[in-house]
Amino acid sequence: MDETKKPNLVVKTKTFFAEVVTELKKSAWPTRKELLDSTLVVITTMLILGIFVAVADLVFVKIIGALTKSA
């Protein structure tokens, strides 16, 4: 048999997942409080941006409506 034969798909897959587990153990995971605080910041930011976009859309619709009515 040829010694330079590539490893098969099963071996590659096992190696990949073993390396993934190793890397995930090295990660710094947030505490529960950090996670909740970050989630609150994201939700609040999305609400503010959503309201801003909705108001801006309403204003632009009114402006464009007024401009096209008068023409």
pLDDT band at 71 (very low <50, low <70, confident <90, very high): low
Distance CA 18, CA 25 (A): 11
Write out pLDDT tens, residues 10-42.
Answer: 899 999 999 999 999 999 999 999 999 999 999
Distance CA 71, CA 62 (A): 15
With a cut of 70, say whether residue 2 has pLDDT above it: no
